[in-house]
Amino acid sequence: MRRLNLILCGTLLAAAFTAMPVYAGWYTSFHNTHDSLVWHNSDGRTLELHSDNGAGVEVTKVSPANLWGLQKGDVLLSVDDHAVKHVDELFKQLQASKPADVKIQLRRSGSEQMVTIPDSDYTNITNPHP
């Protein structure tokens, strides 16, 4: 019986290690609270957002530079004309907009601008892979 258990455990471990490369492209590190988001994926994309002052959602880190038209220091003000003051409000608006592209109004260097983000891009953040 013990030998059978060892064989079974060995088989499961081998299967897990064999399947790891399949999931390598799905790797997502994700942490989200009411006022912050930290997202990294296996392709080296990074997005960090923070919103503790209620004046919008600030982009505190973005990589590669200009990912989805966003830059460090941008303050996200609205999604499809719905104001967002906190990260959780941003998420609610993004999820309500699926499966369509979204228009995000932001403030950059004192002036307001609009960027459009395809649903295929923001879906990676709103529904990260397990």
> Which tens digit of pLDDT belongs to each residue from 6-51?
555 444 444 444 444 433 443 444 455 678 888 887 788 888 989 9
pLDDT for the residue 56:
92
Q: Provide CB contacts within 8 A for 63, sequence distance 6+.
A: 44, 45, 46, 47
Domains delineated in the chain = 27-126 (2.30.42.60)
Q: What angle do CA 35, 37, 39 make, to 5 degrees?
A: 180
pTM equals 0.72
Closest CA to 59 of 90, 30, 83, 81: 90
